[in-house]
Amino acid sequence: MTITYVLFAVGFVILILGANLLVNGSVSLGLRADLSPLVIGLTVVAFGTSLPELVINVFASLKGSSDLAIGNVLGSNIMNIFLILGVSALIMPLHVERISIYRDIPVGLFATLFFGLIANGYFMGFDLVINRFDGFMLLAMFGLYLWFTLKKGKPIEVDIDIEKQVPASWTKTLLLIFGGLVGLYFGGEWVSEGALEVARAFGISETAVGLTIVAAATSLPELVTAIVAAMKNKIEIVMGNVLGSNIINIFIVLGTSAVINPLAYQTQLNVELGMVVAANLALVALIYLGKGKRLSRIEGTLLIMIYAVFIWFSLNYN
């Protein structure tokens, strides 16, 4: 059991390092294939911060751990808005780009509501299961979002200036990709197995572990990116990174998980699902009711306090 816990902790580190290696290798590969910076930013880099969630969910789905898979995504999305945007606003008040208000926030809200309809059996009359058809629907929704974004020519903001990137040699590119895949595989396996062991050992539900420990750890790339960007006053990167990650988490991460293995849904998760909806609505309210289209330090503090209450609730009532 001790070895499992050690691998659980080490797995998170390897998972995040593997994601970084894979992103760097994929960017280099994209440049060598003469893909435009817009396409690379929308596909490779935008997926990078959601890779840990995706890998954890793939392993959770393969093991039939629906609660862990769904809890991981909902917990990550709640953390992204309440904690990551809150901490970023404390460092530097966040100006909200027009594209975020009219594209990313509405799409994120739609994605959450659409998932809620599917999960609760209101879409096409199915039971409380996100089945493979539902998974393909979620993936198709992301395809539409990607097409619309490419058409408008305004990508999710990322903290990599792709136009200034120089592709690595073929040998280094392939090594980066291979090393990243290996890291993702072992990191994902160790974290998913460790999460289940933690749940069993401490009498905590898989849902609670997914909503708190796993979600927090897999959201570390977003947190680090947001803090660094806020300190550099690259505010558009913070908002774009968080909102883009939330959209990918629902459409791609949950969609892929359901395609691998249908996900059983527990109705008590509607509380957390409602929090994701409330988080998006609160974001709109704070943007419009506050001082201009931005998040102030006071509003950032409020978001952090709400997240602390959420963690307490998740550990005590799931």
Tokens representing 156 are: 């999710």
pLDDT per residue as tens digits for the range 221-243: 778 777 877 787 776 667 777 88
Retrieve residue 73's tokens: 């995504």
Token duo for residue 240: 């774009």
d(CA 244, CA 231) in angstroms, rounded, equals: 20
**Predicted pLDDT of residue 113:** 93
Which pLDDT belongs to residue 132? Answer: 92
Distance CA 246, CA 276 (A): 10
| Between residues 39 and 190, the one the model is more confident about | 190
Domains and CATH numbers, the chain: 2-317 (1.20.1420.30)
Q: Is 214 within 8 Å of 52 (Cβ atoms)? A: no
The pTM of the full predicted model, rounded to 2 decimals, is 0.85
Q: Stretch 298-307: mean pLDDT, rounded?
A: 90
**pLDDT tens column, 105-146:** 889 999 999 999 999 987 666 678 899 999 999 999 999 988
Q: Is pLDDT at 259 greater than 90 in this prediction? A: yes
Picking from 108, 27, 18, 112, the residue whose alpha carbon sits closest to that of residue 56 is 18
Contact present, 211 and 272 (Cβ < 8 Å): yes
Task: Locate 204 and state its tokens.
Answer: 């905590």
pLDDT of the residue at 41: 61
Q: Which residue has the tokens 């969609």?
A: 255
For residue range 192-212, list pLDDT tens digits in order.
Answer: 888 888 887 888 888 888 888
Query: In sequence order, what are the residues at sequence separation of 6 or more whose Cβ sits closer than 8 angstroms to the Cβ of residue 186?
Result: 11, 14, 18
Query: Beta strand pairing status for 94-95 and 294-295?
Result: antiparallel
Cα separation, 226 vs 241, in Å, equals 8
- What pLDDT was estimated at residue 76? 92
